Chain A
């Protein structure tokens, strides 16, 4: 009787210890929402591991700050609600910093200067955005490309804008001929078409977008991550990531190399 009671006590203490251990482990974990499939920023390799520029970056930031990073696959359009409801601590999806977004969320300093791009089927006669009159153009729902195309719809007499949930379905419709062009982030499309001769990127469109990590508005984590990014830029870590994932060195005056201000409203 006593023996069994002792045993129960021991089990209870062990269990309690386990709970404590789990709780403290959880406190040291950060949940990163990543738009898996967004090459080369965050995607799954053949082994099923999450890899990419932003995955490498956030893992390194986590290591420096003493957090373990748990990646959660959340599509671009789900990330806004996810950071604000606290389901994830931060989000990456080659996310462009905009004034409008800053009213609802916070960003660390940018680490990539992006342009938009126009891609078409290789057989197409379109060679630049000036050839878009009367054409149907695909964009990613709510992306920087969406904003640019909507603003320039009248200027280039674009007939119709179709909105997709990411690069792959838009490219399928480009191949099927439902759209005549696709306007989206330059690095992602360039990476995507490099081994697909049916598509080509015909124009790089300067749109002034800068990418960063998104947090819930005024999350205390923002400043810590921002400071770490400054450190990583000084060490050349982020420039090395650029070389690793794009095969070329980042321009010397870009935010990939130079420290930047944490964006404020």
Chain B
């Protein structure tokens, strides 16, 4: 049996494509919800960490440290398989979204912190001198500049979150990778895995390119 028959088998590809497409819709909805929730959580965390009252600041710092240290797969298995013993039974989709966005929020918070700290001190002082309150200082002056600075790393992080959705296949989520392994077992042929790899690349390659474009633009502005 040749390499082409085993790994690039056209018949198997055509037969298993509908299964992969159904997995793809789940991968996309899981990826998008985790990215959005992770960014929102990250923003909240960084504001607490930098400007919150002491106890909240310590909690935020502790959260960011712990969730950057815990392996995502372990967190996912704990949320899905251990929480039912504590009386909390979540669906596979909810468990996967939670695990992904909990970890992503911790990383996003660190990226946002770098952005906020990258805004020149003069901007903070000028905002205060103008008499803006804390909320307006952040929303109108600091965050717009900080976020512009961190668009490349935030996009990179989002790409990572999207790729990590493949881990959800361990909690019986019929995502793209899961459907590919199922199709592979039914036909005893690894072609669906290659198809899944191609689909992931086709989805994420434009985003990866976009990061480079953003980085070049930032560099051109002399930052």
Contact = CB atoms under 8 A, between A and B. Distances in A.
Interface of A: 76-77, 80-81, 84-85, 98, 100-105, 138, 141-143, 146-147, 162-165, 169, 172-173, 176-178, 214, 216-218
A105 B185 CA distance: 11
B211 to A, nearest CB: 31
Contact of B181 (A77, A104, A162, A172): A77
B130 interface: no
B1 interface: yes
B1 A104 contact: yes
A80 B178 contact: no
Interface stretch (B38-46, B112-120, B151-159, B188-196): B188-196
Contact of B188 (A101, A162, A163): A101
Contacts of B6: 81, 84-85, 104
Contacts of A105: 188
B189 A169 contact: no
B188 A169 contact: no
* Interface range, B side: 20 to 34
9 contacts: A81-B184, A84-B6, A85-B190, A100-B188, A103-B189, A141-B178, A142-B183, A165-B169, A173-B81
Given A84-B6, A104-B189, A177-B84, A142 B1 contact: no
B81 A141 contact: no
A80 B185 contact: yes
Nearest to A138: B172
B29 interface: no
B182 interface: yes
5 A-B pairs with the lowest CB-CB distances in the bound complex, closest first:
A142-B185, A101-B188, A176-B84, A81-B190, A217-B1
B145 interface: no
Given A104-B6, A163-B172, A176-B84, A76 B89 contact: no
Contact of B172 (A77, A101, A102, A173): A173
Interface string B81-93: 1001100010010
Given A164-B172, A176-B81, A216-B1, A142 B190 contact: no
